[in-house]
Structure 1
Amino acid sequence: MRADKQGPHRVAFEHNKKTILKTQSVCGICGQPVDKQLKAPDPMSPVIDHMIPVSKGGHPSAMDNLQLAHWSCNRQKSDKLFVEKEEPKVIGNRNLPQSIKWINYKAR
């Protein structure tokens, strides 16, 4: 069993879960509002998601590793890590994709 389901992290996880359910209202994965009235079989019901999955080394009960999510969003995310693609700070010629090999270009 996972560390947040048993052992010393169980109490901390349950405490943080209650805090998140009180304070957060938006899915941390899709950004849409979460209806906290919905219950478990509903795909849009609220769950607590580990941002860094426990299987990938994420802390099982740390508040900064937990977020509110829809059940279906959490299932789709599974144990994947979300990595933000960093945009270049300055857009210039060096950041543009190469659309032509200029080495092969011959002047007329």
Structure 2
Amino acid sequence: MTVHRTSNRRYRTNRAKTLEGQPVCALCGRAIDKTLLQYHPHSGTAHHVLPYAKGGTDELTNLVPAHLECNQKQGDKLDPVIDRTSREWI
């Protein structure tokens, strides 16, 4: 059985802390609806500021709230890929 990196306790704990309160996606600037199911494109997740693939960690200081879809579009790129002035995400 394969264990995913995001299944570890530190990530899950810090992800929950990151999504506390009324989180706003750090990538697109829209509110995150915490009532959506886990794999819905607009559900909340934790985005790594310094991508894990580039040496980032699961520490709380390296995580910000993001929509699942926004986080997947960003991937492990350091420069923003979402145009916050675009109407595409509305």
Does the alignment reach a TM-score above 0.5?
Answer: yes
* Contiguous gaps of at least 5 residues in structure 2: 81-90
Counterpart pick for 2:66 among 66, 69, 82: 69
Partner of 1:102: none
SS of equivalent to 1:49: strand
The CA RMSD over aligned residues, in Å, is 1.9
- In the TM superposition, structure 1's runs of 4+ consecutive aligned residues that sit over 4 Å from their partners are 1-4
Higher relative contact order (CA 8 A, sep 6+): 2
Residue identity opposite 1:19 in structure 2: K
How far apart, in 2, do the equivalents of 1:29 and 1:13 lie? 19
Identity %: 33
How far apart, in 2, do the equivalents of 1:44 and 1:4 lie? 18
Is 1:81 the equivalent of 2:78?
yes
Partner of 1:93: none
Aligned length: 78
* Contiguous gaps of at least 5 residues in structure 1: 84-108
TM value normalised by structure 1: 0.63
Partner of 1:35: 33
